[in-house]
Amino acid sequence: MNLTVLMNAGPWLSVPPPGYGGIENVIATLVPELRQLGVRVVLASVGSSTLAADERVSVFPDGQFAALQRPYNQVCGIAQAHLAGVVRELHARDDIDLVHDHVEAVGLATLAAMGPSGPPTLHTLHWDLAKHPALYGALDGGDRVRVNGVSAAQLARAPRALQEHSVGHVHLSTPLAVDADRRARPEKGEHLLILGRINPGKGQDVGVRLAHRVGVPLVLAGPVGPYHRPADLVAAGDEARQNPDVRFFLDEVAPHVDGELVRWVGTVAGQERDDLLASARASLFPLRWEEPGGTAVVESLALGTPVVATARGCLPELIEQGRTGLLTDDEEELDDLVLAAELLDTDECRTVAAQRFTPAVMAQRYVELYDRVCQPTGEP
Ligand code: UDP
């Protein structure tokens, strides 16, 4: 495909991210596939990004993630400074066919404000948007600016202005899905795994109580606020409680973490993460928020681990009930489902992942959307 895309990853983390980084991971997965399809990619990110691209643009030398803890106006200031650099670049050249933007709200508003002088823009929505209606309130980019979601459920909850500019959704993918159906099958252990940020929306408090009730070992993997290792959280002392996710963990989750039946192992990465996931009897997602995209869900399937979850957000789109997982609207039913998950065929999980959630499938779908966004009529 003969297209030059400016991929705007934003100023928060390098691409690929050093550890946690959902959006940056999506970009790191998508860009190589796009280039395989002949798309030229200009990566707008921070100087420390190592992802191979045809060209790069950056304002900040390193990721500004730590600044996200600061007041909202300062956070916006950093996003604006990055975007000013992107806009300067767009004004300075005429070979960019399309901007694919991932910078929450601010990115879209800035690019829309370029008016008819800017290239067509596709903005990917990454969050549960029902929570941010004001951020996305006015969208005045005319036919030039379009959005896509990461699930149909996410778009259905989006503010009207976004729905009117939507060109559809593209499910998330994982490199683990490549040849997932042909990989060796590691031995299954006894444990359940909840993989993700520790946060009320992800429902770890429900999970830890469940584990004690049914007597099944549970591993919690993921950061608590900015703390990636249990020792870091302990060392931070009382100051850590300023972070709402830390308060949630200390008050609702930690009292049930006994270090034996229920363990918190902090953030896991690389092979350690994959082994923990592949050897789990099931992945548990006792969600309280409407999960928008669910990368950890597709990773679980790719590693042959069925999913047990509350049927919220994108889960019913990603999980085939009774084949790759068990979903319920009733939190109390999770106890039974966790035990029943043993009956599911782990090969089915891998097969579905290899068909639906590979980076190639995701890139193909984005190329289709790029095509539509670049049409002169801009028909959504
Ligand atoms: N993740 C990880 N180590 C952890 C916890 C999470 O590598 O200890 C990764 C996880 O594998 C997934 C991403 O972080 O790739 C989380 O993305 P997801 O869409 O599941 O959740 P989000 O945090 O974006 O809501």
Which atom of ligand 1 sits closest to the CA of residue 228?
8
Q: Tell me, using a 6 A CB cutoff, whether residue 229 lines ligand 1.
A: no
- The one-letter amino acid code at 140 reads D
User: How far apart are alpha carbons 23 and 16 in whole angstroms?
Assistant: 10
Helices within the chain (DSSP H only)? 22-36, 72-92, 106-113, 152-156, 160-164, 204-214, 230-236, 244-248, 270-278, 295-302, 315-318, 334-340, 346-356, 359-374
Question: What is the tens place of the pLDDT at every residue in 175-225?
Answer: 999 999 999 888 999 999 999 999 999 999 999 999 999 999 999 999 999
Tokens of 342: 């043993």
User: How far apart are alpha carbons 27 and 6 in whole angstroms?
Assistant: 12
Tokens of 150: 């990461």
DSSP E strands in 89-239: the ranges are: 98-101, 121-124, 145-149, 166-169, 192-195, 218-221
Q: Which residues contact 222 (CB under 8 A, 6 or more apart)?
A: 20, 194, 195, 196, 197, 198, 202, 266, 267, 268
Question: What is the tens place of the pLDDT at every residue in 288-300?
Answer: 999 999 999 999 9
User: How far apart are alpha carbons 205 and 199 in whole angstroms?
Assistant: 9
Question: What is the tens place of the pLDDT at every residue in 129-164?
Answer: 776 666 565 566 566 889 999 999 999 998 888 888
Question: What is the tens place of the pLDDT at every residue in 223-249?
Answer: 999 899 999 999 999 999 999 999 999
Report how far ligand 1's centroid is from the alpha carbon of 223 (Å).
9
Q: Tell me, using a 6 A CB cutoff, whether residue 314 lines ligand 1.
A: no
Q: Shortest CA distance to 22 belongs to which of 212, 173, 204, 139? A: 173
Q: Tell me, using a 6 A CB cutoff, whether residue 303 lines ligand 1.
A: no
Tell me what pLDDT residue 18 has. Answer: 84
Of all protein residues, the one whose alpha carbon is nearest to atom 12 of ligand 1 is 296
Tell me what pLDDT residue 140 has. Answer: 61
Which atom of ligand 1 sits closest to the CA of residue 268?
8
What is the band of 334 on the pLDDT scale with cuts at 50, 70, 90? very high
User: How far apart are alpha carbons 70 and 189 in whole angstroms?
Assistant: 41
Report the percent of the chain where pLDDT is more than 70.
95
Q: Shortest CA distance to 101 belongs to which of 136, 48, 63, 146? A: 146
Q: Tell me, using a 6 A CB cutoff, whether residue 221 lines ligand 1.
A: yes
Q: Tell me, using a 6 A CB cutoff, whether residue 26 lines ligand 1.
A: no
Q: Which residues contact 42 (CB under 8 A, 6 or more apart)?
A: 4, 5, 6, 7, 53, 54, 55, 56, 57, 89, 96
3-state DSSP helix/strand/coil percent for the chain, to nearest 5? 45, 15, 40
Question: What is the tens place of the pLDDT at every residue in 91-121?
Answer: 999 999 999 999 887 777 778 778 778 899 9
Which atom of ligand 1 sits closest to the CA of residue 265?
8
Average pLDDT over residues 290-319: 97
Q: Tell me, using a 6 A CB cutoff, whether residue 11 lines ligand 1.
A: no
What is the band of 378 on the pLDDT scale with cuts at 50, 70, 90? very low
Report how far ligand 1's centroid is from the alpha carbon of 296 (Å).
6
Taking the whole predicted model, whether its pTM rises above 0.90 is answered as: yes
